[in-house]
Structure 1
Amino acid sequence: MECLYRHHLLDKELAITELISLFYYKSPRNFYFEGETHDFWEFIYTDKGQMLITAGDQQYVLKAGELAFHCPGEFHAVQAWSQTPANFIVCSFISNSEHMPWFTHKILPLNGLARESLQTALREAGGNLLPEKKPGSVPLEIPGRLFGSAQLIQNSLEQMLILLYRQSRSVRIQQRAESYALLKNNRQLAANIKTCLEDHVHEKLTLSQIAQATGYSVAQMKKLFKNETGSSIIDWFIDLKLDEAKRMIQEGDLNFTQIAASLGYDNPHYFSRLFHQRNDMTMTEYSRSMIEAAQND
């Protein structure tokens, strides 16, 4: 009796048909890519450090271990975050799968098997498959590839996409962009406070006056400045005054009492004690050290 075997169809629900680029990049602290728009998919994965990403009209910080997609037609740019170096992977590809739009405007954690899949694809591509802009040219073969490299790259990237699609953990870019906007606002506030203190270093300045100038309450202002700088506003102001005192001592035009008065201190003895506490030397010792340093030069 003849046995009939039923065949199982193997559908490809997430398929990559062509690879544009796949490379690993160690960026310098001043890295900046002005951005581009193209008609294929691209993702960026931060392996180490953090990157500031622009996607359309939104900006957000992509942290280590996170991956974000740019859909076809979306303007995107990338730069170093806080002037610190970072390592990242970029992959651009063509996919017409109906499920790809699910990845739009999502930030996804990459770990476990999904991360291993990306590593396999990168290794098979040699780690430096860079994009080539040659309109109308025929598709390129992967340089120096081993037997089956192209298929392994395709399978590994598709496996990564499937695993990412299955997981429920993701962050909407809008949420991260709002967090970045708040962070940017807080940094600007801290910068405004620093400028205000620098502009009034020769005056007495109260927290209420600074708050009035910045438009924040005293409590809000103190908390935000502490979070951004690790210092209180008063301590920052004192350090500015002491730095200015050092500059004035080096100039030698005023005596110590006059310097204290110039910086808003009515009691020169209190200012001298403050200088000693924060610099581990008296104003006289500092003046003497500057004279000796000048003579040695």
Structure 2
Amino acid sequence: MEKLFQPSLLNKVIQLDNIVSLFYCDLNPNFKSFGETHNYWEFIYSDIGSVEIITETKTVILEEGHIYFHKPNEYHQHKSMKNIKASICNGAFYYNGNALDRLAGKSIFLTNSAKCYFFNALKYCSEIFSSVIDTQNMIYQVISPDHSLEQEHLLINNLESFLLELLISMDTLLCHDHHVPKTGYPPLVDEAIVIMKQCLFSSLTLSSLCQKLHCSKSTLSAMFKKYTTSSVMNYYTQLKIEKAKELLCLDTYNITQVSDFLNFCNVNYFSNQFKRYTKLNPSEYCKSLKNNNCVQLLELST
């Protein structure tokens, strides 16, 4: 008797049909986009350097290797940061479901597996579209007459797979798939430092860090102290202060803005922490930069 095979009905979480744009470009130092809103999703990925993102509710500095998603109808503006070279990828597409809501409004670090799909999509896009036309009222991509329908399908598939990879890996995005620099520390300490560096513009607690690393607080604290001679959260604060020094050196943002960027609870707490690690308050530090023309930076205290 011939056996029957029972088919399995599989669900599709994301289906993209209309891509508005997907292109790679270098930003000039004075780049500033017009503030805009539209009824489709948009993302910006910083491949080299950093980019400032402005929305109605916040300002975010998008670090190298991170991507940021704007939901439909969210006001946004992008601009270069002074004296920082930046290369970005900008993409936009229509999607009417709710599956992508978890990605909106976050600066997300791309894992190697996510990058694979992402750059494959960009590759097929470069084969399908021959150029980008920027007019006074519209930006659009010109479709090459030499491309195939298979390339269009592969573009859609890779972009959908990229978005799905982000959704699947949201909870562990900052850990195992990312290349950890060799510092001589044990892997647990190295991974903790990587996560800290990727969370400089947000908040991170010891509990949430340990949850990402799947270890106990006591284990991480003991190992971190042994190899760095610092407590976990002191090290994290020190990294934030280092980033604050970089931002103040740009002479683009005031002290309150830098405090907000780095997610300190208030500017007074930021100033106290800054002085704790540099022996100067932020105002004194800014004066020292002007006197030294931003060449000599103060070392953090140990």
Q: Taking structure 1 as the reference length, what is the TM-score of the superposition?
A: 0.57
Distance 2:79 2:24 in 1: 15
Q: How does 1:16-55 map to 2 (within 5 A)?
A: 16-55=16-55
Distance 2:284 2:148 in 1: 53
Q: Report how far residue 231 of structure 1 moved.
A: 6.1
Could you say which residue in structure 2 is the equivalent of 1:123?
123
Distance 1:91 1:155 in 2: 15
Could you say which residue in structure 2 is the equivalent of 1:6?
6
Map Cα deviations across residues 196-220 of structure 1 (whole Å, 9 max, x no partner).
xxxxxxxxxxxxxxxxxxx99x977
Q: Report how far residue 21 of structure 1 moved.
A: 0.3
C-alpha RMSD of matched pairs (Å): 4.4
Q: Report how far residue 225 of structure 1 moved.
A: 8.8
Distance 1:38 1:153 in 2: 23
8 A contact 1:20–1:131 mirrored in 2: no
8 A contact 1:42–1:90 mirrored in 2: yes
8 A contact 2:47–2:65 mirrored in 1: yes
Q: Report how far residue 97 of structure 1 moved.
A: 2.6
Q: Secondary structure at the match of 1:151?
A: helix
Map Cα deviations across residues 199-254 of structure 1 (whole Å, 9 max, x no partner).
xxxxxxxxxxxxxxxx99x9778667958799695x669779xxxxxxxxxxxxxx
Could you say which residue in structure 2 is the equivalent of 1:165?
167
Distance 2:120 2:159 in 1: 9
Q: How does 1:124-163 map to 2 (within 5 A)?
A: 124-126=124-126, 130=132, 144-163=146-165
Q: Report how far residue 150 of structure 1 moved.
A: 1.0
List alignment gaps of at least 5 residues for structure 1: 191-214, 241-297
Distance 2:91 2:155 in 1: 11
Quick one: which amino acid aligns to residue 100 of structure 1?
L
8 A contact 2:53–2:60 mirrored in 1: yes
Could you say which residue in structure 1 is the equivalent of 2:201?
176
Could you say which residue in structure 1 is the equivalent of 2:300?
none
Q: Secondary structure at the match of 1:117?
A: helix
What is the number of equivalent residue pairs in this alignment?
211
Q: Secondary structure at the match of 1:125?
A: helix
Q: Secondary structure at the match of 1:69?
A: strand
Distance 2:72 2:115 in 1: 23
Map Cα deviations across residues 253-275 of structure 1 (whole Å, 9 max, x no partner).
xxxxxxxxxxxxxxxxxxxxxxx
Map Cα deviations across residues 77-134 of structure 1 (whole Å, 9 max, x no partner).
100113322000011001123312121212211121210111111111117664889x
Quick one: which amino acid aligns to residue 254 of structure 2?
Q
Could you say which residue in structure 1 is the equivalent of 2:254?
188
Q: Secondary structure at the match of 1:122?
A: helix
Distance 1:104 1:140, change over 3 A: same
% identity of equivalent residues:
24
Distance 1:63 1:105 in 2: 14
Distance 1:7 1:131, change over 3 A: farther
Quick one: which amino acid aligns to residue 201 of structure 2?
R
Distance 1:175 1:15, change over 3 A: farther
Distance 1:131 1:98 in 2: 31
8 A contact 1:142–1:150 mirrored in 2: no
Map Cα deviations across residues 51-89 of structure 1 (whole Å, 9 max, x no partner).
000122310100000001000000111001133220000
Distance 1:236 1:67 in 2: 31
Distance 2:116 2:281 in 1: 37
Structure exhibiting the larger radius of gyration computed from Cα positions: 1
8 A contact 1:225–1:232 mirrored in 2: no
Distance 1:143 1:25, change over 3 A: farther
8 A contact 1:20–1:94 mirrored in 2: yes
8 A contact 2:111–2:173 mirrored in 1: no
Distance 1:239 1:14, change over 3 A: closer
8 A contact 1:222–1:232 mirrored in 2: no
Distance 1:166 1:142 in 2: 34
Map Cα deviations across residues 132-191 of structure 1 (whole Å, 9 max, x no partner).
89x9xxx986654234111111110111111111111579xx993798xx957995259x
Q: Taking structure 2 as the reference length, what is the TM-score of the superposition?
A: 0.57
Could you say which residue in structure 1 is the equivalent of 2:181?
none
1:88 has 2:91 as partner: no
Could you say which residue in structure 1 is the equivalent of 2:98?
98
Distance 1:70 1:175, change over 3 A: farther
Q: Report how far residue 49 of structure 1 moved.
A: 0.2
